[in-house]
Each structure stands twice: as structure tokens, then as C-alpha cells.
Structure 1
Amino acid sequence: MLPDEAPLPDHASRLSYQSPSLSLEGPPASMTTMRDVAARAGVSAKTVSRVFNDDVHVLPETRIRVEAALRELNYVPNSVPTTFRKGRAPVVGVVVPDLLDPFFAAVAESVNQVAIENGMSTVVTSVGDNVQREREVVDRLLGQSLSGLVIAPVSTDNSYLKRWCDRLPIVFVDRGPTGVRADSFLEDDEGGTRLAVEYLIDHGHSRIAFIGDRPDVPTSRNRLLGYRGTLSDRGLPEREGYVVFGALDRDSSADIVAGLAALDEPPTAVVSSNARSSMALVPALRDQRFAVVGFGDFPMADMITPAMTVIDQDPTLLGEHAARRVFDRLAHPKRRFRRRTVLPVRLVERGQCRPPD
């Protein structure tokens, strides 16, 4: 059982595919059919299919003949008949906000690896922060008869997916579904932020700011709840001007940091709500004395000076769980029970959480 598993009440794409490994010699694969292989081996096409699918009920000498014919003719299976037969293509769609974000790139690659293990392809697309674009892209993808979908939505209303949920497995990742019942794999956003704020308080900080990118994203809302809840539990006020959103790039982040530094009582520490904001904040924080804890690790976080303490997520595990749920649903299509699974996070202490001056 995964941690905190509980039931719910009711731009350019990349395409990859791995097919069975056979010999590289022989006529072009597109010219070879299963009937050709059967004729070469002196068996029926059904027997060829059994050998190709590793059926144990095939005599050893028959298997040897068929495998030799497969190699000689360089047979490669045609997935089109399977698509027509099952009503879906052997492809899993992955929709994320930003493929340049290391977190979502890791999620997508993890889904891709699981798909390859299961003999399928992935088509991966990003939708930015554009809610309308998300719906258009997802509808277009699902109209191509995918076998499943893993999605980290930017929309706060996912009810447009209702008509698809009974047709194929849809699994939400990082951000839970709203307006539709579906499986989801999330991180402990609120608990992770509590770890960050408590860590800063324990290091002597009482003036702690919270910086994020978009306030309407569920992860940001949950992390803000953790920030506010911890301040309240520890008897600290939420100071005016200490919660700021809009850290989307270097310029906006520099403006935010300058605004915090100009306050009559500037913060001594900052919690960054995600890796995207943390990366944008790095240049602006270079000349400041703020201690920082970022939610989500990112490349080079341990190499900057001073290194950044982070709340570490595991996007690879998140993507793997989501993809395996897709294939579990494909294997057991009659299961209607939808589950919400929350994965734990941990604090990775590095060198930037110095005490206040």
C-alpha cells in the first residue's frame, strides 16, 4: 500500500517506441507479414503469433523454426490492426505545464520508461500556463484514441475530462483533479512546507516570507496553507507583504526580492514554493542576506554559493506510479474505484539557512 492512499468519493511532442529485438538482415519489415513468416516456417499464422508473444505452449522445435523465420524475414509487428481491434492506439499521452521545468521533465521521462517496458509509446506535450490551450491539446490528444493519459493540469476545472474518463485511464500527477473523479498521485505539499518553515524557525528566524509563481495552482495553495499553519502553530504573525506571487522569471523575481528588502522590517528568510520560482530567484538572492528553503530540488541547487536547502520531491517515482496505474487500469478495466495517493517529501539540509544577523 502506498503512503496516505485513500479513496475518492466518487509544443512539440516527443515520440518514442521500442519494438522486439530481432535480426537486422532480411527484406524490409514493411514487406513482411505474419503469413509470410508462417509460410517460411511451415506453420500457421496463429502459431507464429504464439511464438512472437512467447506462448509457453509451443513445441521447442516449432519455436526454433518460427524464430529463425522471424529473423530471416526481419518481421516487425504492425500495431495498426491491434489499434482497430482494441479501439485505441498503443500510446500513452503525457501533458505537463513546462518541459523545461526539471520536475516535469523527470515525470515525463519516468512515464516514458514505464510505457517502453509495456511495449507502448509516449507522446509528451506542454501547455504552459494557458488553461484554454490545455483543454484544446488534451481533447485533440484524446481524440486520437490513446491508451491512457497522465496529466499535470494547469486548469482548476477539469470537468471537461468527464466524457473521457470511462473510455481510458486518466491519472493526475502533482496536481489533483477538480470537477472529475480520477486517480491521482500527489506530494505532501502542506506537510513539506511545514518542514521548511519549522526548520527556519528552529534556526532563529521569525520573519519568514513566502514566494510563489501562481496563486491559483493547487500545489501553491496547499503550500501556502502549510506556511500559514506553521506560523500560527508557532505563535508567529503573518506579516503584511510577506506573501508574494509572480516569481515567473528573473525580472519578476528580482522585483519581488527588491520589494521585500525595502520593507520597514524585511524578512530574514524565504520559503520558495517550487523549483521554478527557486531557479528564478537565485540571481536576485545573490546579493541578499535571506536564508532560503525551496520546495523542490533542481539542478545545481547544491552547487550555488551558498547551497540551497530544499524540500525534496521525487518526480521520477511520481511519474512511475502514475504510469503503472495507467497500465493497471488497462489490465483491469472493470475497476471503478479511484484513488488519491500522497507521496512523502523530505528536507535536504544544505548551507543556506544561516541564522538571522
Structure 2
Amino acid sequence: MATMRDVAAAAGVSSKTVSRVLNSDPHVHPSTRARVEAMMRELDYVPNSLATTFRSGRSSVIGVAVPDIVDPFFASIVRAVEHVALARDMSTLVTSLGEDPTRERLILESMLRGQPSGIVVAPISGDQSFLAAWSLRLPIVFVDRPPLGLSADSFTQDNFAGAFTATMHLVEHGHDRIGFLGDTVTVPTTAARLHGYRSALQAAGLSADDELIAMGAGTRASAACALQTLRGLARPATAVFSSNARCTMALLPLADPMSIVTFGDFPLADVLRPSLTVMAQDPAELGRLAAHRILDRLDHPNRRFRRSTVLPVHLVERESCVVPEDPADRASGPPPTATRSQTDGASLLV
């Protein structure tokens, strides 16, 4: 098996130059780089990644820690990080943080003891200050949720503006009793979206009654309970702003004829009947940006300034926000017939 010295001798350069080519050093002359790479191919040279780990003190791995790797949103982030890492001949190590904030530190420190090149984290607890010492040794980038108690790079989406827009969209469709469905307000994304929801109702001159806010709706059973509560009010809710796709997917089998806007798109949301109006995020972009920031920090270790980037979200209007027909009117009217939506031609029952 060819060694680095064999490649260096064949290319007429030093072993250090071969190492610089392997590490994508921009200061290597293009002609020298081409010659070294040609010798690598000719000799079938395979870099010794274990030796690289020993020399640098870290493995060629980017760690990724998200609440739930099965969730479509976080799965998209993971896939994007993997794609960027692969282009740099790096691998990824992925873990789920789960729902218990007290386990976040244990899980992350276990990952960090493996000496990855850097980690991407979507945090679940209310304090990431325990990562301060680690952040001096390797790049740590946060996605979806900003860190608390720690200065670090982060990529998030505009949760407040998205929730404000979604709620106002329901108001513009004639709804004045709009419920809020969420998991837990201790999650920063949910807290920001609840703030946006309240602000939109206030801007529209509507009351943001606490009875319209239903938390803990992450499962079908809890979503059913929340929906029953919203429908059982003296003045029932006629629409729901769901603060995340997980709550929405739990709600969907139960929601007819409730109008819905959800924060976050998910597979098949556009083919439901009626199709679901969403505030669209781009989790893949969050993952790409986070992975590239890790690589940029590795390439320029002396850069200390930390940057927080907030990405915009946008409304994708579909069919789920119309004011539902009064049941009494439906009972006295003709039977449902199929018609065509004015928006995209999908069949609806009216």
C-alpha cells in the first residue's frame, strides 16, 4: 500500500506538501496540487484518517444533535449536514436529544468526548453554558433554536414574524376566534411563535384569551383533548394556528372542519384534503449553513466573532383557512358536490 512518502517522492515534493494538498491548503500552487493529486490516483493512495486524528487531536467527524432524528424537519437538517460533510471527505455522527432537557448535557458531552471536528446542535434545554469550555476547543453551531448562556454561532428562522403572518392570514379569512396549539412554552421557538400569535391578535383588535391557548398537544391524544377544549368554549375557536408540524400531524385526523395554518411544512401537507396552508421553513438550508460554518471555523481557527443569522419564513397558501360553513346551513342545504378550488384546481366538497 502506498504511503505519503511514496506520493511525495513520485511527485517530487515533500511529505508536508502532500499533507497540505490533503488538507486543501489554498497556498499550494495549482500545478503542484495537480501533480500530487495525479500521483495519489496513480498509486491508489488512501489517506490514513486514524493518523490524521492522532496528529490533529480530533476525528474527521461532524457531530449532529437534534431533538428527534425521525421528525421530518430535523431529518432534513441532518441530511444537509451529511451532504456538506461528505464533500469534504468527513463523516457525521448523529444523535437524538429526546424530550428531557436534563439529559442534554450528558448526551452532548458524551459526543464531545469523541473529539469530533465540530458539532451542530438543536438544543432542548434552557442553558447551554456548560458548553463554554468546549467551544474554545472546537466549533459549535446551533440550529433552529439559539443557545442560552453561551455566545456561539446560530442559524434560526424568524419565528415571531412567521407566527404573526400566519395568525393575520386567519384573521383576513374572517376568523375572530383563533386557537393556538403548541407543545411547551419552555422551547424558545414555541415561545416566540406564541408571542407572534398574541401580537397579531392585538394588532387586529382581537382578544388574545388564554382559554384559546392549548399547550402539550404533541400526541394524538393530547391534541384531541386540546381540540375538544377549544371547541367546547362558550365562544368556540373556528381556526387554529399550530406552532409546529408535530402538533399539526397529531391534530389532522381530528380537525375537520377546523381551519388550520401550521408553522412548518411536512411531506403530504400539500395533498391533504383540504391541502394545508403553512409557514414554510427551509431546514435543509439551516443544516447547510451550519455545516459550512463548522468548516469555515476549522479553516480559519483565529476568527472569534460569533454570528447569529435569522432566516425568513414565508406563507404557502393552500386550502385550509376558509371560514367553515355553519352546520345548520349545511344541514338545510343541498348535499355536498365537488367543485374546483380557485387557488389550484383541487377538488373540494362544498
TM-score (norm 2): 0.86
Hey, what's the Cα distance between the residues in 2 that align with 1:260 and 1:168? 47
**Does 1:56 find its partner at 2:30?**
yes
Are residues 1:342 and 2:322 paired?
no
Of 154-163 and 77-86, deviating more is: 77-86
Partner residue, 2:201: 231
**Aligned residue number for residue 297 of structure 1:** 265
Pairwise CA distance, 1:68 = 5.9
Cα distance in 2, alignment partners of residues 251 and 245 from structure 1: 13
Q: Residue in 2 aligned with 1:152?
A: 122
Determine what percentage of the aligned residue pairs are the same residue: 50
Name the residue aligned to 1:271.
241
Match of 1:10 in 2: none
Distance 2:76 2:213 in 1: 29
Which of 173, 176, 186 aligns to 1:203? It is 173
Per the TM alignment, residue 154 of structure 1 is displaced from its structure 2 partner at its CA by 0.5
Matched, 1:324 2:292: yes
The Cα shift of 1:56 comes to 2.8
Code of the aligned partner of 1:58: T
**Cα distance in 2 between the residues matched to 1:51 and 1:174:** 35
* Structure 2 Cα separation of the partners of residues 190 and 76 of structure 1: 49
Equivalent position amino acid for 1:332 in 2: H
The letter of the residue matching 2:77 is V
1:175 equivalent to 2:148? Answer: no
In structure 1, distance between residues paired with 2:18 and 2:240: 64
The 3-state SS of whatever aligns with 2:237 is coil
Q: Which amino acid aligns with 2:287?
A: G
Q: How big is the shift at 1:128?
A: 1.0
Give the Cα separation in 2 of the matches to 1:65 and 1:225.
58
Matched residue of 2:32: which SS?
coil
1:114 aligns with 2:84: yes
Confirm or deny: 8 A CA contact 1:48 1:66 kept in the other structure.
no
Residue 133 of structure 1 deviates from its aligned partner by 2.2
From the superposition, tell whether residues 323 and 289 of structure 1 become closer, same or farther in structure 2 (CA, over 3 Å): same
Rounded Cα–Cα distance in structure 1 between residues aligned with 2:33 and 2:164: 62
Give yes or no for contact 2:21–2:33 (8 Å, CA) kept in 1.
Answer: no
The residue aligned with 1:12 is none
Structure 1 unaligned regions, length at least 5 = 1-30
* Aligned 8 A contact 2:7 2:40 in 1: no
Kindly state the Cα deviation for residue 32 of structure 1 after the two structures are TM-superposed: 4.3
For 1:101, give the aligned amino acid. Answer: D
Please tell me the root mean square deviation across aligned C-alpha atoms, in Å. Answer: 2.2
Per the TM alignment, residue 58 of structure 1 is displaced from its structure 2 partner at its CA by 3.3
Change (3 A) 1:68 1:215: closer
Determine the C-alpha separation between the residues in 2 that align with 1:136 and 1:188.
Answer: 29
- Pairing of 1:296-315 with structure 2 (within 5 A): 296-315=264-283
Q: Which residue of 2 aligns with 1:140?
A: 110
1:156 deviates by 0.9
Return closer, same or farther for 1:59/1:98 CA change in 2, 3 Å cut-off.
closer
Q: Who is 1:25 aligned against?
A: none
* Alpha-carbon distance in 1 for matches of 2:306, 2:11: 48
Per-residue CA distance 1:50-86 (angstroms, 9 max, x = gap)? 77668534398x659834642xxx3311112222222
Runs of 4 or more consecutive aligned structure 1 residues displaced over 3 Å after TM superposition = 35-39, 41-45, 47-55, 57-60, 62-65
Tell me the secondary structure at the aligned position of residue 95 of structure 1: strand
Residue number among 66, 90, 96 corresponding to 2:39 in the alignment: 66
Question: Could you tell which deviates more after superposition, 41-50 or 321-330?
Answer: 41-50
Q: Does the 8 Å contact 2:57/2:115 carry over to 1?
A: yes
Distance 1:295 1:64, change over 3 A: closer
TM-score by length of 1: 0.84
Does the Cα contact within 8 Å between 1:272 and 1:278 map onto a contact in 2?
A: yes
1:318 partner amino acid: L
Give the C-alpha shift of residue 338 in structure 1.
Answer: 1.0
